[in-house]
Amino acid sequence: MENRIGRAFGNPDYTSDYYAASRGITGFGQVITPDEIRGHYLFGHRLVSVRGDVVTDANLQFYIDKAIESIERDLNHIIVATQYRHRPVNPDTPRTDLPSGQAFRWDDLYEFNKNQFANFVQIKLHRKPIVEINSFKLFDPSTGRVLINLLPWAKLKYEFGLLQAFPRAGQGLFTFPMTNPGGFVGQGIGLYPGGYDRYPNGYGVDFVAGYANARDVPLELVELCGMMASIMVACDYGDGIMPGVSSANVSITGISESISTGASAGNTVFGGRIREYMERIDRFWKENKRKYRGIQMGLI
């Protein structure tokens, strides 16, 4: 019992590389552990079927991962630190600068807009929050060449994923660091690829989204992940504990025992726990969804 891992037991995992193979970031740790599902969220329930089949840690980890991915998608808010890299500018020309052996997920490129460019570039990244920016470039729409390396002047609102560019000291105040000046027209901050007011696949950004470490994940998100994973486990395995048994009676002369499981055709052994967690998740969604997802606005 003393070796159980997780925040709930005062023994959190903030160093493991479990997610490195799928998300590309080492040393993140774990948001929720299988031990916490067994000994905290489903406390008091032995995850063993009537045939003696045991729900393994690998089984529980699958549900944890599925719950985290579901929450990230629904909230548009990345939890586990994840490496994202921009797709090739032209589909028939693969990127040749990708680090060997590192896992990552693709991110689409962003449209170039002359008006936004002249206003110090404003890009709303597809993921948030942001841990760090690795690469920030403006590309030629035809050749895929790098026109400007914007990374040295990147300005970022980490929580909201808003990326801008503004000159730093040491360079001309109104001049971007151009790697191919011949592709531009105009002067100063108004430099942009000649002949285009806007075009697709202009900006490419490599970045890490999520929280830097599992210790940084807000407890309310940790709790949400634990409850959602537990609901999945309870739904899938509840019937395997006492399948089809709603009550049982044993009677011996002078002694009798009656057990009611609460199970029925529409109610599993974990029915009460499932309903409680669903109600708590519903409350979280109503009270906190806008805080994490934000409000989507647009101009017509």
pLDDT at 75: 93
Domain ranges of the chain: 7-80+213-293, 82-209
User: How many other CB atoms are there within 10 angstroms of residue 86's CB atom?
Assistant: 22
Could you tell me the mean pLDDT of each successive run of 10 residues in the chain, 300 residues long? 84 96 96 94 75 84 96 96 96 91 96 83 94 93 84 92 79 46 45 70 96 96 95 78 52 61 53 87 90 65
**β-bridge mates for residue 86, sequence order:** 107
Given a contact cutoff of 8 angstroms between Cβ atoms, the answer to whether 184 and 191 are in contact is yes
pLDDT at 193: 61
Question: Where are any strands of DSSP class E within the chain?
Answer: 82-86, 105-107, 110-113, 122-124, 130-139, 146-149, 154-157, 162-165, 184-185, 192-193, 198-209, 247-252, 255-260
Q: Are strands 162-165 and 154-157 parallel, antiparallel or unpaired?
A: antiparallel
pLDDT in tens, 63-121: 999 999 999 999 999 999 999 999 999 988 899 999 999 999 999 999 998 888 878 88
pLDDT at 177: 46
Amino acid at 90: N
* Among candidate residues 238, 228, 222, 221, the one with its CA nearest the CA of residue 289: 221
The conformation of residue 41, written as its DSSP 8-state character, comes to I
Task: Count Cα atoms within 13 angstroms, Cβ side, for 159.
Answer: 6
Q: What pTM value is reported for the model?
A: 0.82
pLDDT in tens, 25-51: 999 999 999 999 999 998 867 777 666
Given a contact cutoff of 8 angstroms between Cβ atoms, the answer to whether 153 and 173 are in contact is no
